[in-house]
Structures are given as structure tokens and as C-alpha cells.
Amino acid sequence: MLDLPRFTAAAVQAAPVYLDPAATVDKAVALIQEAARHGAGLVVFPEVFVPGYPYWNWTMTPVQGSPWYERLYRAAVDVPGPYVDTLRAAARQAGVVLVIGVNERGRHSLGVLYNTLLVIGSDGELLGVHRKLVPTWAEKLTWTPGDGSSLRVHRTAVGPLGALACGENTNTLARFTLLAQGELVHAASYIALPVAPEDYDMAEAIALRAAAHCFEGKLFTVVSCSTISPEMVDLIAGEDQQVRKQLARPRNALSGIFGPDGRAVTESLVDEEGIVYAEIDLGRCVQPKQMHDIVGHYNRFDVFQLHVNDRPLRPLVLPEEEA
């Protein structure tokens, strides 16, 4: 008899302690413990939660923002490294599957930073290190693209889980790659984006993306988005009143949990800090799949084929490594 997992999911909506990795990891550990006390088996954190998002790419010229890049690089996370070890220990002690975004420092170059999602098992094992495939728009000033080696679905205590960062959740082929590996739980990590064009409702955009992936794939999505604290506004904007007004824009963040019919399982959280909880029963994915399964009977693989390059890309391959 097939026994599909039932569990409580927790979507964290919070601001980092900006550009302070130690304090941000401490905050993450406290939130993991809080979620575990509420019975969570899966805890999802925002994109680049440790130690924050490079908003200066949107509010400054590249020359003005360059010292901020250095500041972020110095505060970034080594994978593996001590901050990752702390997060692994927190997941193990709480008994939760953890997805959390970090700025990952490049090992081979001072000009390389990755927008990375860590997937950590309930036993503390580091299951996945997914580097965002394509930095979005102004983000290209900060992050180096990842590669296809990390487009993986992980077998976890809460079921087959995949994760994508922010705009990747609109990349149809990336999403299909996860669905075709049997994904039933999707972690979608975002940042608050008050710096988007004025006619762009970030909260609505996040909800639409989550609903689309859930309805197409007949699965559950746990959405976690960051917020912007007053301390962050002071640091980023200083005395620039236009930037301060921009960063205070409403409906720039949404966190929530969506089911296989595309609807929110519970009320989502907009803009404010907090944790959204919902009960997930993966058994709810079975009957919708019978009706409409785009990675199974409702497709024509004799007509459509997706080829994914899943080899890690490296700047240097030495002769002895090719042997």
C-alpha cells in the first residue's frame, strides 16, 4: 500500500539582519526552532536570506554599488562552511527538512557570488546546493549564473522536494525538469521587490507563479519571501527620500502555501514578518494526476523531448581529471 507523507509546512517571511551573516544565521535558527515547536516538518526560508539581497543594484549606478558588492562578498557564505554547519545542526536538532537561501562565495574567484538555495534533510545532511541559473535583470551585477547540475528533486522525509529561486519559478523548462523527476513538494524562495516597475504587484506575481506550478504539476508549493526592515531602509537609502519611499512600497512580499488545485491552502502573509503554517497531504496529488499529468499520460514524448545538461561547469579541467 502506497503511504504518501502528511506533514506541516512552514513558510517563513522575515528580514535578514542585513549583511551580518552570523546574526542572520542566529535568527534563522530561532525561526527554525519556533516552526518546529508548531509541528513543522518542512521549513522554507527566503532567497539569499543570509545575509541579504543586493538592493543597491536597483537604486545606485554600478560604480556607486561596487563597494557594496565587496561588502556582500566579505559577508557571504562558504559552502561547505561553518554557517552551513550551524544550519545543518539546527535542522537535525529540530527534525525538519530545511530550504534556505544564501549568498554563496565563489571558491576560485573574488568576482564570483552565487544566489544559492540549500536543501538540508531532517538528519542534517546537505542534500542540495542549487545555484540560481540566471540572475534577474539588475542582479547580473552581483551574481554568477549556476548550472544544470543542481536541478534535482531530493527524496526527503516530507516527500520528493525541489526548489527554485524567485524568477526561476517562471522558467517553464526548469520547472518541468523538477516535475519530470517526480516533484510533489516545491519550495519557491523570493525576495521583497519594492524596486520593481510601479505597475508590478510583486505579491500578486508570486501568487500567480505558485498557482501555475501547482496546477500544472499537481503538487504543493511552499512560498517564502523576505521583508525589508527599517534598519535595511536606513542602510540602503540613507537620506535619499525617493529610495526610502520606494523601499516602503506595499505589496512587495507574499509568503504562503498552495495546493495541487492551484489554490492557497491557507491565508497568505503579505509584507509583514511571520510564519505561515499549513497541513500538507501528498495524497491529494493522486486524483488530479489521473486527470491531467503533464509528465505522464497527458504528454507526447514522441513529439516533445527536453534535454538537460546536468554536468557541473568548471573554469578549469586539468588533464589528470579527464583520465
CA gap 111, 73 in Å, rounded:
8
How far is the C-alpha of 13 from the C-alpha of 226, rounded, in Å?
5
My answer on whether omega of the bond before 80 falls inside 30° of 0, hence cis, is yes
Contact status, residue 194 vs residue 244, Cβ threshold 8 Å: no
> Choosing from 27, 47, 104, 183, which is the catalytic residue?
47
Which of 132, 214, 218, 225 is the catalytic position? Answer: 132
* Strands of the sheet with 126-131, listed across from one edge: 126-131, 113-120, 97-105, 40-44, 6-13, 274-281
Four-CA torsion 5, 10, 11, 12, nearest 10 degrees: -150
Please say if 214 is a catalytic residue.
no
Cell 519571501, residue?
225
Question: Cα(8)–Cα(128) distance, rounded to whole angstroms?
Answer: 21
Catalytic residue flag (residue 132):
yes
Contacts of 93 (CB under 8 A, 6+ apart): none
* From 27, 139, 166, 183, the catalytic residue: 166
Which residues are annotated as catalytic?
A: 47, 132, 166
